Structure 1
């Protein structure tokens, strides 16, 4: 073989050894130069060069190309298109970003088939839902963000959340995700856990979730319990919103747990000092205090001397003069001065007198002393005698001359 024939043979072997590149091929390229915001790379095994623009290196629009690669680096790339037809000197458009996306789509498809979830980060709010970063762009429709309607989705931006894959189509860059079912499942698990350990009498902390006309719903960390309006405070509450605010942290006592009906009854007032706890300070025996007539009955008048504390002025203690009914002398809403005759905090009973503060006709300057028989009567469950409640045992005034 002549020298000329040998050289031609070696050249043919070299040319034949050059790898032919097709669109879609994955190749390795050595960075030869960084020029005009793009990489110039030599495709290994092909003897040709290609270019990688910054936008094909990363999806970060603010990135600098110098931070993406250095001369001499060897990076894996995918061929996007041919920029020339010369096999030896032709150029190709290459991409690292799309190769990485291809791998991400492959991983997501595998998770979809296995029924696994994805961890994604919310990047922005758009019309109809949330855009998320799952390695590729994903979308969560507004109706699938939570288990209830969310008016403002802005609070989710920046959050990382677990989602379920609903629909995937890599060729169209379509990835539809949902968080709703996972939220429901999580709440059901928390609910079961709470019902399993919560018992009547327990004291727990919660947050006011919602306010209604009949009470407040307290979030106990996965399930809501109800504080009825009558259990908010010892004093009368017109509206729960007068006392509580949504988002407020509160301590509550568990009154009842009904797992079958998903109901938990709570109380705030059960953890607060009752109005009768300090009655000895508010209305000590023998003291003269001011009160408001709240109710009139046939046997006397109930006078409120402190929020939630009412005492009875028996009909015999209203006036020195004989009266048939209390409304001959008093009216509801009237403010009166009363003297405390006796108190029984345990049974919530307070005996009061109006006439003890007035002079008896004919005995100016001499205050009539009330006797135990004026106010000591058998008690019922509400703190007053049966005779008081039905008017069958009205007492006579101690001075018959007043009749």
Structure 2
């Protein structure tokens, strides 16, 4: 190992400093008669090694979601063998130190970036932010109805979210954390859409021909939520020939084209006429019965 880096790590071990590296690979090793996982972390171009029990307190079936993610660590031990210096580290201890710093500085309304560490059966997302375990309730994940988050949100996914609440826990002795931090990804999406509406003139104008995705039925007869490519939704109505052709119903997910009739950026609403269903989707619809007879 580079002598300068080695000296930095020796001082880090002595002074309990937190360093950061990127997970390079996971290797199965045999210690005695037991197999263990060794997480190899790239630190400034050199490798340091973290045992499974020093990487994550929970037992995980796979660590692949952590590949190429940035992780904090403290140096546990530095030993010498015939190949040089071997540095063993602890991500868990590194997380504890950065978590203390995070909870002292975080405030409601802050925008933070974290890594998904799990999703429960109810869609509650566990997010690790600067080493601190936070949660995103299912209703705060997206402005759209969330899919099965456990299946669609893998461990290791990096997410930006807004801090909703930071609540002190009374029974701290029963948990390893002192506060419950609730986050919202949905709030950031809402803010982003508001900005897009403010600048809608830069994207679209009345009489523009546009492609959209149908995301659901709106209130009223022959009304659909139509998502434009920039994420904004407006209301679309089928032409009379299309209403007859598709039995007055288009299922969510169908792609279509049409013409924008008006846009009201102050009230964040707009309307379009749907004139054509894209060919691939039209072929599917002709072979299915989605609407009521």
TM-score, length basis structure 2: 0.45
Highest CA radius of gyration, 1 or 2?
1
Normalized per residue, which structure has more strand?
2
Taking structure 1 as the reference length, the TM-score comes to: 0.35
